[in-house]
Structure 1
């Protein structure tokens, strides 16, 4: 008796990226910046299931990268200036008449959509810090004398701009000249942080807008390969999202963040050399049948493979020979008999079904409508799985006849498909 089955491995996998765009109807001008992030599985860190922010930093994080990495935040500098529309008077009663800022420090959500399937996902963003460099008249002249510019800056506002007013927090940043002072404050709460002038300030300019942000992205293992797009818009100006009071007016009234999320999944299957040809045999071999006519209980073969997967995928069968609704068959061309061939799969740790259950001897079926879907809990890198091929016991009497030599053959295509 010669029973053989060859099978073909086929898999499809495609990569992805994403773009989040943001636009708002608001008077005057708008400023746009792009934020990019990528997920690409790393065999050195299989449990790291997070996007990597690939946005080139500018402003605070470019100058102080350790401060930002320790707090998992990123910064960008945009050319939005704020100019005073009137002098800032000494000891002004209202904080809105002086130097103040309030930013969108609470988490805000946006929806991003897959570029082709329109599959939605949620992203969250918060502004975690704010800074700039103010410019005004020579500070020694404004405070009426002295020879120390640092002291003069402190006298002008009551205390140093390095020390942020509550609820903003110190960030360790401050640099100055006779007419300028650079600062950066952390913003743990969405509330006003203000400075009261102790002397008249005839004019004041903030030369740019430097902001830090924190980003929460979806679990990339649950996302399809491809690009996702969405947008988030902030208003800038008095009583806007970025609010610098009633005196300081911005050069642009809208800030648009354009996110680019690039999902690059891996789905790869490796079969050992020669593993595409499967010989089905009984337990213990053919000797009991050939010598004693003792019919085997079943014919089977287990074929190992190595799989790397970072995304959902499905498995299904295609058959050279039909005959059963869900299974393939192998055929003896002499006797014209065909028997059912069952195929099942066992997947390694880290890959489960959609209910989170381990995959052990899960039957595979013919056709896309009967495909089995699986998902990773973490990036699985070249982990061993098993394809189980079996002629079931109920086929043995029909298949094996004493004194009759037969050769059964057939081709089965096993498909690993990332397009789910």
Structure 2
């Protein structure tokens, strides 16, 4: 008794998430910065279901990669040169009239959409810090009368910018300072102003460069379909903006636009052992009990193992050469035309669950896919064994056993693993 089975699976197309949306209503010049992240299942670390940020660091994290790694942050350069601008009066009580930084430090949520299907996913981003090199109109030694550069910059503010005003926290080691410039970087844990009060008149103050660091919270890639997603986060920079540098400094480019591209490359692969595409249903222990002792079998079955690798959601269903009820497959005896039902079910390895998070044990497979419309990985499964169960119901077995005749029932059954959900 032979059951011919074919086992195709549908290759998962790489999923990329990208975002390039410019809001036409903004009458402003924007600094557009791309952020990219990728998910590839890692057989050596299947429990790690995270995107990898593939954006090249510019600015602070390029100079201090170990520090950024310890804080889980990344950096971009928003402005190459803001230029020396307004004056700062000594001992100014109004923090907005001095040197100040405020960033959008709270988490913000944006939606990214699958380019092909419109499927949404959620990304969260927060600005974790800001820094760069401040620039003075005159040498610090001339403004303060202090002879050395470090001493002059310290005297100018009471403490140099390696000491951040609370709640900001200075990180990194200053690698550049000179007559008119001083490098700094401050973490901004809260959406609160961090300001420095000048102790001497500064005729002009600005920034030679501005960097910011950011943190990301990306979606669970195992719950996303393959494809390309797009999303954008827009910030204003300037007096009263999301990035607020006070009233003295106002960049000409007053929009910072983050364009997100997240790439997911899923795996769905099923391997059938050699010869596994032909399934022979047998009684428990074979036919010897009937041939030698006349005991009719009550069960005809076969368990066929397979190996599955999966990082994506998928569904399963059947295609049948013969069917009696339109839902399940059948086998047919060609001479008499007699048809009997064939029950097909599946057991999946640990790490793959159904839509309710339950283990998959002998789950019936049907032509319409009902009950098997969503299987999902808890973690990446790499070449783990599963089982297809084939069985003829006992009442049908009794109809098939004819001592006086040798009969052969057969039929083609196609089992489909489909990631297109």
Instruction: Show CA shifts across 1:173-197 (max 9, x none).
Output: 3230111111111111110000111
The 5 Å alignment of 1:159-178 reads 159-174=159-174, 175-178=176-179
Residue in 2 that maps onto 1:15? 14
Q: Deviations over 1:218-269 (max 9, x none)?
A: 1111111111111110001100000000111112010000010111111000
The alignment partner of 2:318 has SS state of strand
Which SS does the other structure have where 2:359 is aligned? coil
Q: Across the two proteins, how many residue pairs are aligned to each other? A: 417
SS at structure 2 position matched to 1:17: strand
> Which residue in the other structure is 2:182 paired with?
181
- 8 Å Cα contact 1:316/1:370 also seen in 2: no
Question: What SS class does the counterpart of residue 305 from structure 1 fall into?
Answer: strand
| Within-5 A mapping of 1:273-292 | 273-292=274-293
**Contact 2:281–2:300 (Cα < 8 Å) also in 1:** yes
TM-score (norm 2): 0.96
**Which of 338-347 and 78-87 deviates more?**
78-87
| Worse overlay, 169-178 or 31-40 | 169-178
Unaligned stretches of 5+ residues in structure 2: none
**1:109 is matched with which residue?**
109
Residue 386 of structure 1 is matched in structure 2 by: 387
Offset, 1:209: 1.8
Q: CA deviation at 1:403?
A: 1.0
CA distance in 2, matches of 1:354, 1:134: 54
2:270 — aligned with what? 269
C-alpha distance in structure 2 between counterparts of 1:406 and 1:35, whole Å: 66
Uncovered stretches (5+) of structure 1, i.e. residues with no partner: none
| Aligned position for 1:316 | 317
Name the counterpart of 2:66: 66
In structure 1, the residue corresponding to 2:290 is in which secondary structure? helix
- d(CA) in 1 for partners of 2:298 and 2:373? 28
**Residues 19-418 of structure 1 correspond to what in structure 2 (within 5 A)?**
19-24=18-23, 25-79=25-79, 81-83=81-83, 85-136=85-136, 137-144=138-145, 146-174=146-174, 175-368=176-369, 371-418=372-419
Any conservation in 2 of the 1:139–1:178 contact (CA below 8 Å)?
A: yes
The Cα of 1:172 is off from its aligned counterpart by: 2.6
Find the residue that maps to 1:153 and give its secondary structure.
helix
- Deviation string for 1:294-342 (max 9, x for gaps)? 2211100111100011111001100112223321111111121111111
Change (3 A) 1:176 1:85: closer
Q: Secondary structure at the match of 1:92?
A: coil
Deviations 1:32-87 (A, max 9, x none): 00000011100111010110000011111111001111111110112354345431
Residue aligning to 1:5: 3
Once the two structures are superposed, residues 12-32 of structure 1 have per-residue CA deviations (whole angstroms, 9 ceiling, x without a partner) of: 122210112353444431100
Distance in 2 (alpha carbons) for counterparts of 1:35 and 1:340: 55
RMSD: 1.3
Work out the CA distance in 1 between the residues paired with 2:390 and 2:225: 30
User: In the alignment, is the contact (CA less than 8 A) between 1:324 and 1:340 conserved in 2?
Assistant: no
